[in-house]
Every structure is written in C-alpha cells, then in structure tokens.
Amino acid sequence: MLAFDFFNQALPYEEFLSTYGSGGDRDRWDRSRTGIVLTAEQQKLLGTFTRKTNVLLLAGAWCGDCSAQCPVFERFREAAPVLNVRYLDRDAHPAAQAELQINGGNRVPVAVFFSEDGYEVARYGERTLAAYRRLVRNVIPDISAPGAADYPAEMVADWLREVERVQWVLRLSSRLRRLHQD
C-alpha cells in the first residue's frame, strides 16, 4: 500500500509542469487539456460527487501517455471540486516508482486514489483500455481490437468510469457514512 506521504509531496498541475517539464512538454500537456471536452452527461455525473477524493498521478512531464491522459483529471476536477488532484514525478521519487510498478516495470501514468483521510482506495494505470486497444491496432494489426475512432472520448470515458467507481466506494463506505452522518 502506498503511503499517503507521497500524495503530500505531489504538486498541482501547473507547479508539476513548471518544475519538471520543458516548454515542449508543457505545450503537449496544454494541447491535450484544451482538446479534452466533457459531455454534458459527464459533467452532470461529476457534479454529483460529494466525497473528497485525493488523486495521486505518478507521471513524467516528458511522457506521451501522460500528456495525453493526465490532463483529463484537470477537466474532472473543474467539474467536481471534491477531486484533489496532484502529480508526482516518477523519476524524482524512486520509492513511489518502485511501489507502483506494473508487470515488473516502471510505468506512467499510474493513478492512486485516496480517501479524504489518506486511506488508499484504488490504483489504475498505466494506460486505459482505449489506449491499449489503439496500441493493439497499431502493433498487432491482425487482431481486431474493438473501439471507436474517437480515442480521446474513449480514454476520457475509461478514466471517468474508474473515478466514478472510486467515488461510489467512498460514498457507500460505512466508515465515511458514519463520519459524515449520511
């Protein structure tokens, strides 16, 4: 289980990119952020969230998958202020990197979701199903991976499903329901 201390060391979006990203890195992240548009239905769903959720994204400013996927969390945060999103540079935090390996390798982005009081709730990464389907279509063309042509929309939907799942885990937690008397 990843210590909540890593979340406390992580940085908000702007500070993360200013600290770890080059001008080109920042441009890629900002282009992705600008291109991510939530549907009215997605915004409505995010607006129903009531449990504070701390989201730690292990990332690299240089990483193409990170620049494509991580800015979606800024859009989620704008629609759901209960999401507290922070970014931790993979290379600057080797202990977190070692704890969050996937299939024996250092991967990014990896999201770790924490409750308002620092309990780990879930992990998700390094790519969404939409990203893997796209990769399969490009790398193994004789396999017909399903998926629409609108990769950004699929990727947003994949991440939103996990964020929603975590929100319901927290919202239905008997421990937190007692705490909030709801």
Tens-of-pLDDT digits for all 182 residues of the chain? Answer: 788 999 999 999 999 999 999 999 999 999 999 999 999 999 999 999 999 999 999 999 999 999 999 999 999 999 999 999 999 999 999 999 999 999 999 999 999 999 999 999 999 999 899 988 888 888 998 887 777 678 889 999 999 999 999 999 999 999 999 999 99
Q: What is the pLDDT of residue 103?
A: 94
8 A C-beta contact, residue 56 and residue 67: no
- Indicate which CATH number applies to the domain containing 106: 3.40.30.10
**pLDDT value for 3:** 87
Rounded to whole angstroms, the maximal C-alpha distance in the chain is: 54
Q: Taking the model in full, what pTM does it have?
A: 0.94
| Phi, psi values for residue 160, rounded to 5° | -65, -40
Confidence (pLDDT) at 109: 97
Evaluate whether 155 touches 130 at the Cβ level (below 8 Å). Answer: yes
Domain count, the chain: 1
CA angle 149, 154, 158 (to 5 degrees): 155
Containing structural domain, residue 131: 5-180
